[in-house]
Amino acid sequence: MRLHVDNMSCQHCVQAVTAALRALDPQAQVEVDLACGEVTVRGQFDAEAAIRALAEADYPARLLADADPV
C-alpha cells in the first residue's frame, strides 16, 4: 500500500515511521520517499492499522487513492 505521511523531514523521521510499521509486522517491507512524503509498505496488516500506528507516532497518514490494497 502507498501512504502519504505528514511531518517527515529527516532520517530520524524515516526511522520512526519504519519502526511504527514494523511494530505491526517485523518483516514488513517499508520504503520511504522523503521528497514526496510517501511510504510504500507491504506487511501483514491493513491500511487502518498502519494509519493508526503512524498517527500514534505523530506522523498522520492517509492511504493514497491509487494505492495497491496489498
Encode pLDDT of 16-69 as tens digits. Answer: 999 999 999 999 999 999 999 999 999 999 999 999 999 999 999 999 976 455
Q: What pLDDT was estimated at residue 70?
A: 47
Cα dist. 62→10, 43 in Å? Answer: 19, 16
Grid cell for residue 27:
518483516
Work out whether the CA dihedral 54, 58, 59, 60 comes out positive or negative: positive
2-63: CATH topology is Alpha-Beta Plaits (3.30.70)
pTM of the model: 0.89
Grid cell for residue 11:
532520517
Domain boundaries, the chain: 2-63
Grid cell for residue 53:
500506528
